[in-house]
Amino acid sequence: MSSGSDRDKDKSKERKSPHVIFSGEPRADVSPEVSDPAAVGGSQSTDQPAGAPAEQLQKLLAEKQELMDTLVRRQADFENYRKRVEKERHHERQRGIESAIEHVLPVLDAFDNALAGLNDAVFAEYRKGFELIRRQLWESLAKQGLVRIDAMGQEFNPHFHHAIQRVETSEHADGIVIAELQPGYMIHDRVLRPAMVRVAVAPEAHSAHASKRDN
């Protein structure tokens, strides 16, 4: 009776013990653990080409140089623009000054005409006052660059003189200004108003010119 129960106990132990299989080959469904950090890094570096960092560096340097060239061009363009604006402003300021002086010239002419007619001793005191005012006005205009054109005794020049009459005479050489009817003025090497003058014409030259005109 005891032997039967012992056999039953042995069978139950056999059913409860795990079934273990020992083999020298690793299982195919289990990946080996990698403990070498170098091996891990080596496996990741294979994702990009070896020359990628150098190519990216060259690309960044080229982009930097292009940006620097663009910046230099923009600075040069801005400097040229600034100079052009300053030049235009200077010209506009000069044109404004010239226009104002041109409107003042008749006042200066009026002073000159008044002084020319005040030669009587009775008007001596008035003349001194007119001369003082005229001098102050002229000094203010001269500070802006106004210069009177020298006409008397000069050879006629159409750029500076406006001939309103030609006088036949042998006392002066042909083409010489013998009278100034209205003074001319310049400002900054530009003729603001030409001088109105009379010009001498030699009799022979005048006769030859008339004969050519008649022919």
Quick: pLDDT tens for 142-178. Answer: 999 999 999 999 999 999 999 999 999 888 899 999 9
pTM exceeds 0.75 for this model:
no
- What backbone torsions phi and psi does residue 18 show, to the nearest 5 degrees? -65, 155
| CATH at residue 188 | 2.30.22.10
CB-CB contact of 197 with 181 (8 Å)? yes
What value does the mean pLDDT take over residues 95-117? 90
66-76 burial code (b ≥16 CB/10 A, e <16)? eeeeeeeeeee
Residue 164 counted as domain residue: yes
The reported pLDDT for the residue numbered 40 is 47
Residue 55 counted as domain residue: no
Under DSSP, the state recorded for 198 is E
Residue 166 counted as domain residue: yes
Residue 51 burial (C-beta neighbours within 10 Å; 0-12, 13-18, 19+):
exposed
The position carrying tokens 């005409």 is 113
Q: At what angle do helices 124-143 and 52-117 cross, to 10 degrees?
A: 170
User: What is the C-alpha to C-alpha distance for residues 177 and 165, in angstroms, rounded to an integer?
Assistant: 10
CA 107 vs. chain centroid, Å, equals: 39
State both tokens at 155. 């050879």
By residue range, what is the domain housing residue 207? 147-215
> Is residue 34 very low, low, confident or very high in pLDDT (cuts 50, 70, 90)?
very low
Residue 208 counted as domain residue: yes
Say whether 47 sits in a helix, a strand or coil: coil
Residue 75 counted as domain residue: no
CB-CB contact of 178 with 198 (8 Å)? yes
**61-100 tens-digit pLDDT:** 888 889 999 999 999 999 999 999 998 898 888 889 999 9
Residue 205 counted as domain residue: yes
What value does the mean pLDDT take over residues 46-51? 54
Residue 20 has pLDDT above 60, yes or no: no
Residue 27 counted as domain residue: no
- What backbone torsions phi and psi does residue 192 show, to the nearest 5 degrees? -85, -35
CB-CB contact of 146 with 107 (8 Å)? no
The reported pLDDT for the residue numbered 6 is 56
Domain count, the chain: 1
Enumerate residues 6+ apart whose C-beta is below 8 A from 187.
97, 98, 101, 144, 145, 146, 147
Residue 207 counted as domain residue: yes
State both tokens at 7. 């056999």
State both tokens at 130. 């007119």
